[in-house]
Structure 1
Amino acid sequence: MKKIFIAISLLGFTACDQDKLLHTVPPTQLSSADVFNTPERIEALVNGIYKAIKNSSLYGGRYLLYNDVRGEDFINITGNTFTGYESWNNSYSSGSNDIINLWSAGYTTINQANILIDGLGRSKGVISESQAAAYIGEAKFLRALTYYSLVTVYARPYADKEGQNPGLPLRLLAETTPANNDLARSSVAEVYQQIIKDLDDAEASLPANYSTALLNTTRAHRNTAIALKTRVYLTLGKWDKVVEEARKIVPQIQSPFKATSGVNHELQDVVQIFQNNFTTTESIFSMPFSSLDNLGGQSAIAYIYNTNSEYHLNPTGIFGDPQWGERDARRQWLRINNGRAFLAKFGSTAPFLNYIPVIRYSEVLLNYAEALVRKGEWSLSKTLVEAVHHRSDPNYSFQSTTGQGLLESIWKERRIELLGEGFRSNDLLRNLLPIPQKGSASLTAGRVDPHDENYIFPLSNAEIATNKAL
């Protein structure tokens, strides 16, 4: 009856009138043409990309969790599949919630970045060209960070066949319908090539800094793109490029190290940066939380690590290594209960408002140090790793100061300094090292070798079911 009424009522309208009537936009929604017609709406789209990457399955915390618990430094207590047990046990499948949700959060972020890049390219004059370029720079940075996050877990490491293995579907167009969903996987090398291109573009167009410490910590600026490039090039084993990028923000050859252009990044109090001062110059990029915008329960990384005590530090892992001495101030990141050490970096009780770090200046120093030792430049490498360690344990002396011994000290320092921040799995995989076995009397996880199928995450079932070109 309704279909008949609509057909009759349209008889008195022209074809143009009929088209307008049948394709109206609901009053509570904006058409795609209107989304880019005011500066405020454009800025809201930019903020939306940051909101997307802060999804609980991505940089809201769980992506960090998956990467760290895969390594040997945490013991699982609960066997709870909703809090990363399958990642800890390396027993995930294409249908696992962790696999599907991370993939979805990643590609949602990528598509929102693509929509902004495409829309600003077509909407001239609404904002200044310089502001549009800066927004596009932010979108490209976030797209690069997301692609890096996905390719390091869902694809074979670059070191395996120099990136010639299948990587990810490289989606660079704004998708608003399922019409272009079928897309084959680009190679690992092609994905990294796009990541570097995005970061180079971002570096060229992002602002040097913002007006507040909060914005310098939570929005991408020029040094943010540079810092991420040191991470990406380290993953690729391109030591000269790591050094080239690091020197832009670490120009000194002796401590104290400090960026001298853009935001003046430098090391800060190693305890306070996680307790009550989240916007220091050490924090290059972080995920902010407020009382009106935070994650709770099993979505919060602090709940999993600390409040609900589902993982404790492995006494035979980095927690028990002599390089992390009892006098090291970074021991204050831990909560000891019944002889077990739990990670308290991200807080303890709801609401969980501690910022989640994505890039810190200490990581850049360690990236730089590793690249130098790989190149045989041991003196500065040693000085860099000592700068990181001595701010929390000034009396410690590294036993090895050259060659493989120094490299292994840097790797240990990464496990201490970046504990819980999502680095361990990739540090193993980028070096084609096995994932060690671990466990307790109740729960165990076996060793995973580089040739094993579960060395990387399987592709998401949701993508397999809908992408016929995969």
Structure 2
Amino acid sequence: MKKIISIIVVSIIAFSACKKEDFLDRFPQDSISEPTYFKNENDLKLFLNQFYDSLPAQNPGFQSAYNDFNSDNFAQAKIDQFLANQLTIPASGGGWTQTTWSAIRNVNYFLQRYNKAEADNTIKGYYAGEAHFFRAILYWQKVKLFGAVPWLSNDLTDTSTAQLYGPRQPHTVVMDSILADLNFAVANVAEATNTQFAGRVTKDVAQALKARICLWEGTYRRYWALGGEQSWLREAATASEALINSGRYAIYKTGNPSTDYYNLFIQEELKGNKEAILARRYIKDVNMQNTTRDISNVWPALSKNFVRSFLCTDGLPTSLSPLYKGDDSLDQEQLNRDPRFTQIIATRGFSFKNNADGSKDLMTLPRIPSIVTGYGAVKAYSPDPAQWNSNQSTLDLFIFRYAETLLIYAEAKAELGEADQTVIDNTINKIRDRVGMTPMVVGSLVKDPRSDFPGVPVLLDEIRRERRIELVGEGFRYDDLVRWKAGKLLENPETILGMKLVPAIRAQYPAAQISSIQVDANNYIRVYTDITARTWYDKLYLRPLPIDQLTLNPALAPQNPGW
């Protein structure tokens, strides 16, 4: 007992000797806190690293390589619930949760504290520019989902009542703030030539994002009659032109027009590829992804409407070209078409798997019903079995690709009425040259009688077609339909049809394999047998706010239109 008492006494004396600030009020050693963080450049860099996973691209951590499933480009076996108007207002979640807003709060937390770091002001400016870049992209994603949202420029706490329970700001107001962030990023982040910042957000990456967002907003304001579109379109053209004039980027090609486009998306190393403005790199046993396996598990099935949009090799649409051979078979349909046809769609001779013994799993007939439309998209799919293992693919993925920048410049200039032959030669024709496609000649363009955009000038119509083909599967199509206010295109019956399955072709399959496949009166595969066309509802241009958020904060009302 005496020993126990002695130990207690000694402990009390020792505890009393500890200063309060040395122990009881010590800041956490295992988490970020103001007095222990933002001390130097490395702290700034490490804090911002958390936002790189949010970059939109063919990035499995953020979105599928084939997130065009919610557009007219694809018709999957499982109907898209959103486009089918089967979604209801969520009780909670739905893209508006603490988790989805926490990234914006973390950016604001950084911006209010980064200046404390002991570093050169220029260096601190680089990282501040990165933060503004990420806030711009995070807020843009919110605007695309919900339209009007609250704009928060500081990190709120549970005492920030006025802002926590404040109203939404109008779409145009939030987008103006996003543009301010983009301009700050372009002005402050490191130059692309600064090797210390290789792989991070540089001035070129900021210009690429600015071009993307400004084109979206400029056309949105035009086609939704919001006004002010000219300045946004000018910003899009200026940002993309800066990248073009830098001379640092080019369309990837090796002199093999029949394979270069396909091979671009199955490369294990995009470092040094001049088409990559920014890429996500994957390294064996360090950081790997699952794209090829995802594709082989649920084959992306392209719609008849998308496939019909490929031009013929004379540069004319199928409705006008004498080279078009019809579509009674996929073999026939691919003849005399844009060479990207056979680099995007699995056609006869495509290798699904290159075996170690040198043999190959080659396609003969379209693989229906596993590919429900018969048009199997093979972009970003590798026949190398090493890429098929679950979450072990080492293929790099694009985040910002130069071809998109060229398409942005062409479209912005066309919307401004300034797209002459020189513009087209420096943009669309650079892209076409990769695959040996006939160049676009502005003065020779003829309006497609089957155009999805009959009221749009022929040049702009063809630029939109080029964008649809070149960027298919990269996550842009639904956003494009929204900014053009073109949701009605999803009502085209061809957006849920597949290839033509005439009796002569059907007879080449085992009867049991295709017994469940139904066709329409013209022998096109019907993907959804209970409907002949989708119905578009304008409310689908935006997502609904969840019920719990409107209950907690009535100032967020009204609910988005139609919900």
TM-score band, normalised by the shorter chain?
0.7 to 0.9
Which structure 2 residues correspond to residues 200-239 of structure 1 after superposition, within 5 A?
Answer: 200-211=183-194, 216=198, 218-237=199-218, 238-239=229-230
From 244, 253, 256, the counterpart of 1:259: 244
- Secondary structure of 2:428 counterpart: helix
Question: Alpha-carbon deviation of 1:21?
Answer: 5.2
Q: Give the aligned partner of residue 345 of structure 1.
A: 379
Q: Is the 8 A contact 1:78 1:310 kept in 2?
A: no
From 185, 201, 226, the counterpart of 2:168: 185
- Secondary structure of 2:205 counterpart: helix
Query: Any idea what the Cα deviations from partners look like across 1:14-39, whole Å, max 9, x if unmatched?
Result: 9x966775544444334332121243
Q: Give the aligned partner of residue 297 of structure 2.
A: 308
Which structure 2 residues correspond to residues 11-410 of structure 1 after superposition, within 5 A?
Answer: 22-53=24-55, 60-62=61-63, 65-66=66-67, 68-79=68-79, 85-87=80-82, 89-95=84-90, 99-100=94-95, 106-121=100-115, 123-124=116-117, 126-155=118-147, 167-175=148-156, 179=160, 181-211=164-194, 216=198, 218-237=199-218, 238-239=229-230, 241-243=232-234, 245-247=236-238, 250=241, 259-261=244-246, 264-269=248-253, 270-276=261-267, 277-279=269-271, 280-292=273-285, 294=287, 302-304=292-294, 306-314=295-303, 316-323=304-311, 326-329=337-340, 331-335=342-346, 337-338=366-367, 340-348=374-382, 349-350=388-389, 351-380=392-421, 381-383=423-425, 384-395=427-438, 400=445, 404-410=457-463
- Secondary structure of 2:376 counterpart: strand
Counterpart Cα distance in 1 of 2:193 and 2:265: 22
Moved more, 402-411 or 142-151: 402-411
Query: Any idea what the Cα deviations from partners look like across 1:182-235, whole Å, max 9, x if unmatched?
Result: 3321110111111100011111111121455x965x421112222222222222
Amino acid at match of 2:216: T
Q: Is the 8 A contact 1:203 1:226 kept in 2?
A: yes
TM-score by length of 2: 0.65
Q: Percent identity?
A: 21
Moved more, 223-232 or 338-347: 338-347
Counterpart Cα distance in 2 of 1:420 and 1:51: 19
Counterpart Cα distance in 2 of 1:55 and 1:183: 32
Residues 423, 278 of structure 1: CA spacing in aligned structure 2 closer, same or farther, 3 A cutoff? same
Aligned residues: 424
Question: Alpha-carbon deviation of 1:74?
Answer: 0.3
Unaligned stretches of 5+ residues in structure 2: 1-11, 219-228, 254-260, 313-335, 348-365, 369-373, 383-387, 448-455, 497-526, 557-563
Q: Does 1:422 align with 2:475?
A: yes
Query: Any idea what the Cα deviations from partners look like across 1:362-399, whole Å, max 9, x if unmatched?
Result: 22221221222223334244333222223223335566
Question: Alpha-carbon deviation of 1:303?
Answer: 4.4
Residues 175, 333 of structure 1: CA spacing in aligned structure 2 closer, same or farther, 3 A cutoff? farther
Q: Give the aligned partner of residue 163 of structure 1.
A: none
Moved more, 328-337 or 387-396: 328-337
Query: Any idea what the Cα deviations from partners look like across 1:373-432, whole Å, max 9, x if unmatched?
Result: 223334244333222223223335566279711111111111111111111112111111
Question: Which structure has more helix as a fraction of its residues?
Answer: 1
Counterpart Cα distance in 1 of 2:240 and 2:57: 29
Q: Is the 8 A contact 1:233 1:239 kept in 2?
A: no
Q: Is the 8 A contact 1:230 1:241 kept in 2?
A: no
Q: Is the 8 A contact 1:52 1:109 kept in 2?
A: no
Q: Give the aligned partner of residue 412 of structure 1.
A: 465
Question: Alpha-carbon deviation of 1:86?
Answer: 2.9
Q: Is the 8 A contact 1:61 1:356 kept in 2?
A: no
Query: Any idea what the Cα deviations from partners look like across 1:262-321, whole Å, max 9, x if unmatched?
Result: x7122223344312142322222333333456576xxx55544x121253111x222232
Residues 420, 447 of structure 1: CA spacing in aligned structure 2 closer, same or farther, 3 A cutoff? same
Amino acid at match of 1:186: Q
Query: Any idea what the Cα deviations from partners look like across 1:145-204, whole Å, max 9, x if unmatched?
Result: 22122212322xxxxxxxxxxx11212212465855333211101111111000111111
Question: Alpha-carbon deviation of 1:90?
Answer: 4.6
Residues 229, 41 of structure 1: CA spacing in aligned structure 2 closer, same or farther, 3 A cutoff? closer
Amino acid at match of 1:448: W
Residues 39, 232 of structure 1: CA spacing in aligned structure 2 closer, same or farther, 3 A cutoff? closer
Counterpart Cα distance in 1 of 2:213 and 2:28: 44
Counterpart Cα distance in 1 of 2:548 and 2:262: 41
Counterpart Cα distance in 2 of 1:105 and 1:430: 27
Counterpart Cα distance in 1 of 2:100 and 2:380: 22
Q: Is the 8 A contact 2:57 2:474 kept in 1?
A: no
Amino acid at match of 1:370: E
Counterpart Cα distance in 2 of 1:388 and 1:92: 39
Q: Give the aligned partner of residue 434 of structure 1.
A: 487
Counterpart Cα distance in 1 of 2:57 and 2:436: 35
Residues 409, 110 of structure 1: CA spacing in aligned structure 2 closer, same or farther, 3 A cutoff? same
Moved more, 143-152 or 401-410: 401-410
Over the aligned positions, Cα root-mean-square deviation in angstroms equals: 3.7
Amino acid at match of 2:339: D
- Secondary structure of 2:301 counterpart: strand
Unaligned stretches of 5+ residues in structure 1: 1-8, 80-84, 156-166, 252-257
Q: Is the 8 A contact 2:240 2:408 kept in 1?
A: no
Q: Is the 8 A contact 1:49 1:112 kept in 2?
A: no
Amino acid at match of 2:467: R
Amino acid at match of 2:63: R
Amino acid at match of 2:73: D
Counterpart Cα distance in 1 of 2:477 and 2:133: 23
TM-score by length of 1: 0.77
Amino acid at match of 2:39: N
Counterpart Cα distance in 2 of 1:133 and 1:430: 33
Counterpart Cα distance in 1 of 2:136 and 2:41: 25
